[in-house]
Structures are given as C-alpha cells and as structure tokens.
Structure 1
Amino acid sequence: MSLLTELNTAIRTGRLEIVDLTAPLTEGTPVLQLPEPFANTIGFQLEEISRYDERGPRWYWNNIHTGEHTGTHVDAPNHWVSGKDGLDVAQIPLGQLVAPAVVLDFSAQAATNPDFLLEIADVRAWEAEHGSLPEGGWLLYRTGWDTRSTDAERFLNADEQGSHTPGVSAECARWLAEETAIAGFGVETVGTDAGRAPELDPAFPCHELLLGAGKYGLTQLQNLASVPATGALLIVSPLPIVGGSGSPARVYALVEREG
C-alpha cells in the first residue's frame, strides 16, 4: 500500500480526524479596530453578481470585499516593518504551511484574567511535560477565546483603556523568535498580540519580533480544544497573493485517533 493510499484509508476509516480550525467568514466576523489616526481594514462583504436570474440564469456568484487580515488569516513577515524585506504571503514555502503543531492550553488562566500573558516559564513548563517545541512547526496557543468569536463586542473585549485579550509577554515573544525553531505562532484572538500589546516593550512584540525573525502568524483559530497537545499535523492554506502581507486562510489539523 502506498503512503498516500494509507493516508487516505486512515482518513476514511476515522483513524485520522480532520479538525477544522477556521472561523466561518461572514459580515459579522470581528476585525481588529485600531484607534485614530490609524487606518482600519474593511469587514468581510459579499456583493452578489447574479443568482439564477436575468444577470446569469443558471449560475450564482459573488464579488468578495475584505482585507488580507480578516477572520482566520496568515501574517506574512512583510506585514510588519521589522520584516519588510521578508517573504510575502505568496512566497511562504509549502513545507512550512504543512507542518507539525503543538497546542499550549492556557484557557483556564485566560478565563480568570483576559489580560493574561504567556511567559517563557510557561512554555518551559509545558516542554518539561510534553517535549520540545517542533522544529519547523507551529506553536498554537489555546486561550478559549474562540467561544467569543460570534460576538464582536465580547471577542474584542474593549473598554476606555483599550482591548483586553490574552497574548504573549515581550520577553516570551523575543524568546520564541530568537531561541526556538518554530515556523509560526497561532492564536484564537483577533491578532497574535495581546490586547494591551501597545503598552509592552517593544509594542506589539509578536508582530515586531516573530515577523521580524521571518516567522509567521496565524489568527482567529477555532476548535483547538479538539487538538491534542502534541502529534497533530497542521495544514494552512492562504491565498497566494503576490506582494500580499497576509491572507484569509482555511486551516485544519490532522489528528490521529485510536481506532
């Protein structure tokens, strides 16, 4: 039996489960809101071209209007000034878009503290239990924030002080960027940085340091609760937008189940 035939059989028999990690893309999908004077992306919109009518009697189709960084999406290195000479989203090697993934679950901490920041010690403790982060793979950071994704107000969780969503400390972001061999970092929140990231040093450390190191971001993931701490294979499928700084993406994980 060939390797691909064996893979197909494992999927068809349920030994390998495909877990969809992608948030549905609708006009209600939450998008990042930057304060003035900064420009913001548009939300997702469908514009009907025809629907089995005089504009096109036997077909239905739409124009789509959206930003590169809407919904579940990839941040390419050139998204941030620190990575401006890095790869665009169309240049990301496929071998880094199909790669092993681990899930670090800090949903309990985020449930009691929406401003929770992942620290180096937290990752080290996880490694002591589960093993090293995957070389050339993805660190996926579970906070339980996906349960808020259908309510933009709860998802963005902003008040007069700013947004309150979990993220990563500046020290941890630097360590992940400079001292680990991961290819990318994925989150359930609207962006890879915490809501209070403008207050950190450097500001927006995941963007500044990880993208500056040529690594990738992945945001607004769902269903990480269905992915084990280790052993999953992540598949990330952004549009190959030439010159693009990112793209909405379909993201899923292959997870081996006992059968």
Structure 2
Amino acid sequence: MQGRRVRATVLAALGLALAAVATASVRGRSEKVEQPPFWELLATLRGGRFIDLTHTFAPGIPHWGGVPDSTVETLYDFEPGGGTMGKGLLIHRYSLAGQWGTHVDPPAHFIKGLRTVDQIDVREMLLPLVVLDVHEAVAANADYTTTLDDVRAWERRHGPIPEGAFIALRTDWSKRWPDPAAMRNVDAQGVSHTPGWSREVLRYLLEDRKATAVGHETLDTDPGSATSRGDYGLEAYVLGRDRYQIEALASLDAVPEAGAIVVATFPRPRGGSGFPARVFAVAP
C-alpha cells in the first residue's frame, strides 16, 4: 500500500513538471523575451566599424631618446633549446620603458603626487571621440601647431565639443611609423620638425570644454621645435590638469571627426608612470 502511494506521488509530481514545461514552451512561442538593454547596445556597436588606433610594438620602434630600446627574451619555447628556462609552451619576458609604443601618460608621469596609471578610473577609458584634423596644414608645414581657428571650425561643423571627450589630433604623422628618423624629422642642425599642440588650444579643450584626455600621433605633445631645446611645457600643462594622454596613436585618418567613441585601455601597474596602451574607436 505504501509503495503504491509513493509511486502515485512521484507520478503526480512528474505530471506537474511536464505541464510546467509545456506551459513555458507555449508561452515562449507566444511571448518575445527581451534582451538585456546593454546586450542590445552591444549589438548596435558591433554593427559599426572598429578601428585599431594602436601601433604594434617591438625592439627598434620610434621612441623618446631618453629611454633605452626594449628587449624580448624567450623563457619557454615549444622546441627544445628555444627557451632559456624550458620548453613545451611559449612565454616571453619583455623589458621596456613605460612610455613605449602607443602608450598612456598619466598625470604622475610629470607631476609628483598626481594620479598614476592604476588610479585612472575605467570610466575615463570609454569616451566620445573628437578628431581635430590638421593633416593638410601639417603637410604644408611640418612645424604646424594647432590654433583656436582649427577648433572653432570643428565646432561650426559639428557643434560644441562634448564635455568629457577624448580629443585626438590628426596630423597623419603616424604614416611615418615605424621609421624612427622619419618620425623625428631632424634637420642638419639637430632640430626636430614635428607638429604639435598649442597652449591656447589645450587650455580651451581642458578648461572650457572639460575634455577628459587628449591624444596625438607624434611622440610628444609639444612640437619638435620645442622638444629640441628641452621644452615639454605643453605636456606638463596637460598632465598638470590631472588629465591623461595617449601618445603615438595610429590610423586617425580612418575615423570621422565626430560621432565615434574611443576605448583607451591599458594595464594597471601599481604606481605606474606609463604603459603601452591598446586604443580603438567604434564609428558608425
């Protein structure tokens, strides 16, 4: 008698479960399940163009002359004898200055006591991208520096620069990469002829338009005519405003002046003074 009651209970439970499955199946066919909103946003972004704004780095690439070249050591290799420590897998050891390749300069790079790389909030890495295009002026004059007229012309075309933007200076200088001599463009007197920012433009962007970060294709914020005499005042100004910058950007010619977003990412070394970055844009 007890066995029959147990079987009856099990069968009843099984019947309820099957009925629930059937009901859910019918409901699934009749009701559309909505995607979480951020997944829908991701689907929209994936419909855009992804533009990598990052140079690959390796020993011998263009870099600031005050730091040594990088080295790469193979610690483990798949083949016997290929690694200094073992075989069966691939592990490299990299030795490089923080300011290497496409890289981030945090405020502490120049200003003692301000934020280091690990203290930059991830919310500062996803930003509206404004491309200030002066490549034609640079083609005519390698020493060109930005003017407020350049910025005002951008705003006439696209409206006010949005607060919190990442402002990238397009000079097409990255097309000289990876030739160190072409990037430096030094004359017979040892003066570097490279374009750069101007203080009036940086002041407007950082103080009036509240930009979060700036970036450029050259190795320095300041034009070569200034850095050749040891003047890095504009970089000190940017970092002194507790903003970060990305140097040695690539492929800005593939990004629209307005309407794209930028993702500027980098590792999180404790107390870091700089580090190679991976930067990309998503454009309509």
TM-score of the pair, normalised by structure 2: 0.81
Alignment partner, residue 178 of structure 1: 207
- 1:25 equivalent in alignment to 2:51: no
Structure 1 residues 107-134: Cα deviation after superposition (integer angstroms, max 9, x where no partner) = 1111111100001222122112211222
Alignment partner, residue 130 of structure 2: 102
Alignment partner, residue 42 of structure 1: 68
In the alignment, the residues of structure 1 paired with residue 235 and residue 101 of structure 2 have an alpha-carbon distance, to the nearest angstrom, of: 17
Deviation (angstroms), 1:23: 0.4
Contact 1:18/1:254 (8 A) holds in 2: yes
Equivalent residue in structure 2 for 1:52, among 78, 99, 109: 78
Equivalent residue in structure 1 for 2:268, among 240, 243, 255: 240
Alignment of 1:214-253 (within 5 A): 214-253=242-281
For the pair shown, the structure with the greater C-alpha radius of gyration is 2
Alignment partner, residue 79 of structure 1: 109
Contact 1:169/1:205 (8 A) holds in 2: no
In the alignment, the residues of structure 2 paired with residue 98 and residue 9 of structure 1 have an alpha-carbon distance, to the nearest angstrom, of: 17
Equivalent residue in structure 1 for 2:195, among 160, 166, 179: 166
- 1:125 equivalent in alignment to 2:153: yes
Secondary structure of the residue that 2:155 maps to in structure 1? helix
Corresponding letter in the other structure for 1:21:
L
Structure 1 residues 54-99: Cα deviation after superposition (integer angstroms, max 9, x where no partner) = 443320111001111111001100111xx32211011001111111
In the alignment, the residues of structure 1 paired with residue 249 and residue 195 of structure 2 have an alpha-carbon distance, to the nearest angstrom, of: 14
In the alignment, the residues of structure 2 paired with residue 26 and residue 61 of structure 1 have an alpha-carbon distance, to the nearest angstrom, of: 16
Corresponding letter in the other structure for 2:56:
P
- 1:61 equivalent in alignment to 2:91: yes
With a CA cutoff of 8 Å and minimum separation of 6, indicate the structure with the bigger relative contact order: 1
Contact 2:134/2:150 (8 A) holds in 1: no
Secondary structure of the residue that 2:113 maps to in structure 1? coil
In structure 2, the gaps of 5 or more residues are 1-34
Deviation (angstroms), 1:177: 3.4
How many positions carry a matched residue from both structures? 245
Identity %: 33
Structure 1 residues 161-219: Cα deviation after superposition (integer angstroms, max 9, x where no partner) = 4211100123323333333300111101112221122489x942331211111111111
In the alignment, the residues of structure 2 paired with residue 144 and residue 48 of structure 1 have an alpha-carbon distance, to the nearest angstrom, of: 35
Q: CA RMSD in A?
A: 1.9
Secondary structure of the residue that 1:109 maps to in structure 2? helix
In the alignment, the residues of structure 2 paired with residue 161 and residue 52 of structure 1 have an alpha-carbon distance, to the nearest angstrom, of: 46
Change (3 A) 1:66 1:199: closer
Contact 2:206/2:212 (8 A) holds in 1: no
